[in-house]
Structure formats: C-alpha cells, structure tokens
C-alpha cells in the first residue's frame, strides 16, 4: 500500500532521513521504531506532506505522492494522528468529530460554519466512533474539559473518522494510563480486524510488540532491521541501536 524508496531529508547537513526504503503491507499494523533522532517523525512528516523530500519517492496506492500538498495527500486517503493535540477546545466532542467529516470535501471555514447543518448520516458515523472509543457519554462535553487521556481518545476517533485508506498514528499511547493503553490496543486490533492499514510510531515497546504485525527499525535515518516482533526483539543491530552495546 505504501512504498518508501530511497527517501532523503537533510537539515543543515544533518541526515534526518538517509536513503530510507521500506514497504507497508495492507490490512496490518506496522510499527516504525528507533531511538530518539532516528528519523521516525521526519518520515511521518514527509509522507503526510508537512515536509518536502530532498530525494526519493513516496508511492501510495500505486500513485506517486512525493512532495504533494497536505490536502492532496489527505484526500488520497491518508489520515494522521499527531503527537500533540489538535482538537478545537471550544467545540464539543461531537462537533470536533463532525468537523472532521465536514472537511472531507469542502473548505475549512465553510465546514466550520455548517456544523449545525450536518446530515443525519454523518451524525450517525460520528456516534458509531464515539461508541467505538467508549466516549458516547461525552458527546456534548467541550474538548477543553476533557482529561488528557480522553483527549487522546477523541484525537484517535477524529483520525478514524477522517475518510481514509491508511492510518498514521504518532505515539498513540504517549502519556496515557496503563488502562487506557489497553483500551487503545483493543481499538487498534479491532480496526485491523476491519481490514484497516495502520502505521504507528510508539516508544512503549510492550504496547508495540503486543499489537504490531511487522516492525521497521530506523537508526540515523536508515532502516537497520525489519520483521516480525519475535525477529526484532533480540536482533543484535536493534539492541546496539537502543543500548549502544
């Protein structure tokens, strides 16, 4: 579904992504891991159009999306959960969801103004995702009144609601409680059972090795290992990258 071919991105001489190549299989959960500074977030930013590549190709569904606009990449079917919250704090949880749906094919401000005119079909879609993330009792709660963990669930719900073929999740369980980690793991495995394709960055290795079908390991912008969790866990190159052994 997604092919990264010889991708490069340099910042003032620093090779953040250095001739990086890998492929993401459809209908599976793939984890992109590596020590701090390995280039994971830069790869995410290149795929989602936030950054422009210096060289290489990004192929999504057999189409070259390299250096395309954020809007074009999103419309092609890529939905991303960011590490930092991007909720509208003065809107309710439901309205944050409806805004994600209304933004599917219209400009932002017209989507914002037309929230109250949203179709029953879209409201039903929003209600189903609220139930999926067990936040149905918070539909009318303002986003600013949610706890950090609740906001994380709503962010995940928005990413799922955004019309997509491919989910990119940047540290979905960072800073959340162990109980919420378990809940998010259940949600992601449920999505995989629904034939979703998911690529995630996550520093919680217990969480990652529990849910990922495949793992890609980056170090200094390059792929140093890839395979099943059982193959990665004791890989000498991976241990050296993380522990300096």
pLDDT tens sequence across 92-103: 999 888 887 765
Question: pLDDT digit string (tens) for 135-167?
Answer: 999 999 999 999 999 999 999 999 998 889 999
Domains of the chain and any CATH numbers: 1-77+165-245 (3.40.50.300), 87-163 (no CATH)
Mean pLDDT score of the chain:
89
Question: pLDDT digit string (tens) for 176-214?
Answer: 999 999 999 999 999 999 999 999 999 899 999 999 999
Using an 8 Å Cβ cutoff, are 191 and 167 in contact? yes
Q: What's the whole-number mean pLDDT along residues 232-244?
A: 82
On the question of pLDDT at 226 being above 70, the answer is yes
Radius of gyration of the chain, Cα coordinates, nearest whole angstrom: 18
Task: Report the pLDDT value the prediction gives residue 112, as an integer from 0 to 100.
Answer: 46
Q: What's the whole-number mean pLDDT along residues 39-45?
A: 95
State the sign of the Cα–Cα–Cα–Cα dihedral 171, 172, 177, 179.
Answer: negative
CA distance linking residue 15 with residue 39, whole number of Å? 9
Q: How far is CA 229 from CA 78, 87, 135, 162, in A?
A: 25, 33, 31, 29
Show Cβ contacts of residue 211 under 8 Å, excluding neighbours closer than 6 positions.
29, 185, 188, 189
Q: Which of 208, 145, 198 is nearest to 174 (CA)?
A: 208
What is the pTM for the complete model shown?
0.88
CA distance linking residue 79 with residue 101, whole number of Å? 12
On the question of pLDDT at 170 being above 90, the answer is yes
């Amino acid at each position: 579904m997604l092919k990264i071919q010889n991708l490069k991105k340099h910042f003032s001489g620093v090779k953040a992504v250095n001739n990086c190549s890998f492929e993401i299989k459809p209908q599976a959960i793939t984890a992109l891991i590596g020590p701090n500074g390995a280039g994971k977030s830069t790869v995410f930013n290149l795929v989602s159009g936030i950054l422009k590549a210096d060289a290489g190709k990004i192929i999504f569904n057999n189409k070259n999306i390299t250096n395309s606009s954020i809007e074009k990449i999103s419309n092609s079917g890529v939905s991303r959960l960011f590490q930092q919250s991007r909720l509208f704090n003065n809107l309710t949880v439901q309205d944050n969801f409806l805004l994600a749906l209304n933004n599917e094919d219209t400009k932002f401000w017209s989507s914002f103004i037309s929230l109250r005119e949203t179709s029953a079909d879209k409201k039903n879609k929003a209600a189903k995702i609220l139930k999926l993330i067990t936040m149905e009792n918070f539909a009318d709660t303002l986003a600013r009144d949610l706890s950090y963990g609740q906001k994380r669930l709503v962010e995940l719900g928005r990413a799922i609601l955004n019309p997509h073929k491919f989910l990119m999740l940047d540290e979905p369980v960072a800073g959340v409680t162990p109980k919420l980690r378990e809940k998010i793991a259940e949600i992601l495995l449920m999505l995989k059972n629904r034939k979703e394709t998911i690529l995630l960055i996550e520093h919680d290795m217990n969480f990652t090795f529990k849910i990922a079908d495949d793992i890609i390991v980056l170090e200094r912008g390059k792929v140093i290992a890839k395979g099943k969790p059982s193959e990665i866990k004791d890989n000498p190159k991976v241990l050296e990258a993380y522990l300096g052994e």
